[in-house]
Structure 1
Amino acid sequence: MTTHDVLDFATLQGARTNGLGAVTGSLTPGKKADLPVVHAEEPHTMPLNDPIGTLVLGCDARNIGAVLVGGEPRTWNGRVLDVDLPALRAEVHASRAYLLDTPTAA
């Protein structure tokens, strides 16, 4: 398996598997532009000799500068945009509490 295969699984094949292959998964005219903006010239990724290899093997969340969904920025410089984070945190904690307090079926 190559780094190109891993990138394909995470993009084209991931969209296809989730029934979204006609909508997203590649930068193709007519599809939604859902993509991360990656900083790949950080000390732990230099030198950038192989962009796909660097993305797959060397990058992590520290390298994400922005995320675009449908071409619109949803995060920028590590900050989530247009989300009430305290309300989201409360909702996530309430959901976890509900799941932990709900007995599972045997």
Structure 2
Amino acid sequence: MKFRKINVHPLRGADPRLRAVANILTADGYAINGIRVYEDKGKMYVRFPIVHSEARAWKAGRAANFAFTPCTHAARREIEGAILEAYKMKTGNVAGFEQRSVQ
């Protein structure tokens, strides 16, 4: 998968584990916004966005949740690796990063 742009926005807020929010644009023109980068017990990980619909719409029976989830393990690793590498380059923070291999 090729990425046209990866924007990482480092954060410090209410959640002490949340380190950044990332947005990516693929070479095919797909944008994935709101990907969160967390650090827990010294390890960095990525959570993909889920958009919950409003409670009023659920009661009316016309709501749905939307989520982005990579279809394969290799695709997930590739996206995670690109985002974590961009985070590392932007912040200089190398704690919690492990060398991973895509199979």
Q: Of Structure 1 and Structure 2, which has the larger fraction of its residues in helix?
A: 1
Shared fold (TM-score, shorter chain, > 0.5): no
Give the TM-score normalised by the residue count of structure 2.
0.26
Give the TM-score normalised by the residue count of structure 1.
0.25
Report the structure number with the largest CA radius of gyration.
Answer: 1
Relative contact order (C-alpha < 8 Å, sep 6+): which is higher? 2
Q: Of Structure 1 and Structure 2, which has the larger fraction of its residues in strand?
A: 2
